[in-house]
Amino acid sequence: MRKSIPQITSYTVSSTKMMVPLIYLFLTSLLLVDAYRLPTNVLPENYKLEIISYLGQKDNFSFDGNVWIKTTCVHTIHNITLHSKDLEIKEEAITLKDVSSNDSKALKILKIELQKDNDFLIIHLNEPLLAGRKYQLFISFRGHLDDGLAGFYRSSYFDKQKKEKRWLGVTQFEAISARMAFPCFDEPEMKATFDISIGRKEGYKAISNMPLLLTEPLKEKEGWYWDRFDTSVPMSTYLVAYIVSDFDYKKAETSQNNNVTFRIWARKDALNQVDFAAHVGPKALEYYEKFFDLKYPLPKQDMVAIPDFSAGAMENWGLITYREAYLLYDPKVSSKTSQHSVASVIAHELAHQWFGNLVTMKWWTDLWLNEGFATYMASLAVEELFPQWNSLQEEAADNLLSVFSFDSLRTSHPVSVPIGDPKEIDEIFDTISYKKGSSLIRMMSLFLGEEVVRRGVSNYLSKHKFRNAEQDDLWDCLTDEAHKNGVLPHNLTVKTIMDTWTVQTGYPVINIKRNYERKTAEITQHRYLRDIINTRDAMNPCWWVPLSYSTKENRHFNVTTPEHWLSCPIQEQVIENIADEKDWVIFNNEMAGIYKVNYDERNWDLITKYLQSEHYDEIPTLNRVQLLSDAADLAFVGNLKYDIFFELLKYLKAEREYLPWKAALGKTAGLTTHLKRSSTYGQYKEYMKQLLTPIYEQIGGLEIPTSSADKLDSIKLQVLVASKACKFEVANCIAHSRNLFNKVKENPQGNSIISKDLKGVVYCTSLKHGGEAEWDFLWKKYQTSNVATEKSTLLNALGCTNEIWLLKRYLEWSLNDTKIRRQDSSTVFSAVARNDVGYFIAKSFFYENVDHIFKHLQPNKRRISRYLSSLATQMTEEKDQQELEHFIDQNRANFSEVKKGVEQSLETVKINIQWQNKHADAIHKILTKYSK
């Protein structure tokens, strides 16, 4: 029986030493923040906001607004500073009153200053504002509904019944775009209540965060109405939302447990696709109420499918907005993978109603608390609602594999990342904030116990509700609960452990060196970096690592409570009596911790032989995933012979589960990138054919058996294997695809000819081996489809053609709003760049049209990073690197706001070149051996 409290080495003095550089780094970064931040002398309490939208008047995309902001003066001061961006401020109409008593007194305004660099609107006064008194600021303004997908912007769709283009106005304020819609204190810590009124034309509807109180005529404008909404709970400006549209809704069944009104909104043509969302939303909300032991604090929840939307979805309190493909689901057309995706995104956004909305980070440094928790909680909710999907394991593996890849870059960043200039905020909505954040919470749940974490989180939310918090507040609540339950000794805190994971970048490799005679294992750690020229990090970081393990004779894979900790900065630890010399040892039960494991060759050999036996499935799925992933990544940097990875792959002939195949084929995809333009590729292709042929034939090729209809993991395995099989010309994959495609061409309405889930594979393969007629057929299908999930599949497939002129035209169309929606521009580019022929076309297009692309993506420049990474991952030669560096240097102004994206892309190219120099010859020899 394993002990519930793990062995802890004395750490107090040495861990303090280790934390000094971390604290220094953090404080230095914080000093840079002040210049961009609002002063805290005046704080908002309530906004009374009136917006009049002129939608419905031909070509009038302006809006007028008035805002009355009730504030409290904290320290005596002569001015008020708030945010405003791209708004026309009616300076002569600005007023300020002291409203501390019934006799309000007007204050004289000296001058108005607009400081564009920081979006500051500064109101200078003749006399000081006095500490403790309340003031009301009134500002009248005008703005424009542009098409930049940020602030209060316009979107459109084509109404098939009325045969006309219809416009809507929608908000997207995260992270710093509320200031583009109304003057406000646009920082997350400056919470206030909101009374929102929207003026709109008859025939349109307005919705906002809170329920509608009343509708009344707009006196100055006949045929126009005010929709006035209830006072909101205290919230940050980035969560304010309102929409003006002619959409309709379906109401979900009201739950007896919470009485929350749930409505799903969409354009009328798509209302038949909201039923699945109406089923998932209320159930997920109930699950969270029970889990957090806190009721959802609003009386209603609206969820709206927006035709043009830059993010996947946005968690505005009480009014969640989505891309159509992440809310709408048509059971006749949409794939099982799309259904899972819709459920996950809905669950993610609803988790935010607690994590992010009820308790909000003080500053964007702790964005991961929002996104990491929402990602983790969504995986629990989906598992609860759809246990037959087996999606919890997939979520864990998918997140960890993404983290292992992204966080192995020197140019990655800490989970808790100091933010100076708010323009940097957009770049941290990435793998680290979402997937590493989620993996860290999963790791805590597995070493502290799920119930301890659940109660700690519940206490944290109760303690800080309607206010702001930072990660240390969460660590305090979790430590209290951990000590109460005896799962951590009293001299150890959650902060001590978790700061090593959140305040520094990267993750460790745990090296296991066994002494087989003494039955001991010596354990050390170092940071895993893919940069093999300088493999060790100069700062020599270390982590508190929860160590769990199983052996051939003692398979305790389900026990994730650590038996030992590798503490920090102690460099090594010896575990006694670990296993018999003929037994294998596998560390990191259920892949619970965010670390890689390297063994001595003898232990790798023992594991490999066991995997190649009929008992392979006695090692659980997630540990098989980790073994494949670790062997590939350790071979990549030269810490392990590539032979060991290829020997491991041999066991796959018996493997029938999705996740190990996903890990293995994900790693071989990296090899494909490195080999596809080399003379070795023929051998590699032959090797991949041998690997894939048995599984492709066994799972049914391009026909999904009815027995798999509701098995998400079986379907995903079949889609994955089929796509690779067609790529490497396995069996009849190409001929079968083209045959199915031709049948659909002959009978375009025949929805059941190709399985919904395999359409992407069949379409892509048929275009790759077809010509203009096939492309035109799919393009027409894209234009006429009413289902966003199908349109997404088609957009990706259209990039698969090898016809150069079609690819060039497709890229040109990606910058034409009448052809491709702006939200999808980068999807089209990535689809073309993934294509072996398309890569060269995409690279030239990007280099020649970079100014046009940047202009097209304004104001959301973050998406340019997707263009860069699509190219960088495939660059393997030094001339590519020189060309890319020169190009970025020539366009410094454009790339100044995506510094992280630029650094990560350049590092990726450098690493690819290092791999070529180190491994290309060795891989040639290995393939000669394994492809026989």
* Burial (Cβ within 10 Å: 0-12, 13-18, ≥19) of residue 756: buried
Active site annotation includes 349: yes
- Residue entry with tokens 């392979």: 616
Phi, psi (deg, nearest 5) at residue 117: -55, -40
Is 517 within any annotated ligand binding site?
no
The token pair that represents 558 in the structure block: 């389900």
CB 531 within 8 A of CB 537: no
Is 313 within any annotated ligand binding site?
yes
CB 670 within 8 A of CB 683: no
Q: Which value, to the nearest 10 degrees, does the dihedral of the CA atoms of residues 694, 700, 704, 707 take?
A: -100
Residues present in the chain in total: 932
Q: From 169, 126, 134, 122, select the one nearest 149 (Cα to Cα).
A: 169
CB 637 within 8 A of CB 535: yes
Using the Cα atoms of residue 776, residue 779, residue 784 and residue 787 in order, give the sign of their dihedral: positive
Q: From 468, 469, 438, 466, select the one nearest 371 (Cα to Cα).
A: 438
Residue type, 146: D
CB 257 within 8 A of CB 289: yes
**150-171 b/e with 16+ CB inside 10 Å = b?**
bbbbbbebeeeeeeeebbbbbb
Is 639 within any annotated ligand binding site?
no
Residue type, 888: I
The token pair that represents 282 in the structure block: 């209320």
Contacts of 10 (CB under 8 A, 6+ apart): none
* Burial (Cβ within 10 Å: 0-12, 13-18, ≥19) of residue 462: middle
CB 295 within 8 A of CB 258: yes
CA angle 749–752–758, rounded 5-degree value: 115
Please give the helix or strand (H or E) that residue 482 lies within, else none.
helix 471-484
Q: How many CB atoms lie within 10 A of CB 125?
A: 17
Is 348 within any annotated ligand binding site?
yes
- Residue entry with tokens 């420049």: 861
Q: How many CB atoms lie within 10 A of CB 491?
A: 10
Q: From 869, 37, 909, 882, select the one nearest 427 (Cα to Cα).
A: 869
Q: Which position among 50, 289, 349, 427 bears the catalytic label?
A: 349
* CA–CA dist 393, 53 (Å, integer): 47
Is 174 within any annotated ligand binding site?
yes
How far is residue 104 from each of residues 46, 77, 92, 613, measured CA to CA in Å?
A: 17, 19, 20, 84
* CA–CA dist 111, 102 (Å, integer): 27
- Residue entry with tokens 């790798």: 604
**Cis preceding-peptide flag for 175 (omega within 30 of 0):** yes
Q: How many CB atoms lie within 10 A of CB 513?
A: 15
**888-914 b/e with 16+ CB inside 10 Å = b?**
beeeeebbebbebbbbbbbbbbbbbbb
CB 401 within 8 A of CB 629: yes
Is 314 within any annotated ligand binding site?
yes
* CA–CA dist 773, 780 (Å, integer): 11
Is 316 within any annotated ligand binding site?
yes
* CA–CA dist 522, 728 (Å, integer): 43
CB 67 within 8 A of CB 44: no
Is 371 within any annotated ligand binding site?
yes
Is 352 within any annotated ligand binding site?
yes
Q: From 292, 86, 92, select the one nearest 177 (Cα to Cα).
A: 86
Axis-axis angle for helices 899-930, 658-675 (nearest 10) = 90
Bind-site residues for Zn(2+): 348, 352, 371
State the catalytic residues: 349
Bind-site residues for substrate: 174, 312-316, 862
Bind-site residues: 174, 312-316, 348, 352, 371, 862
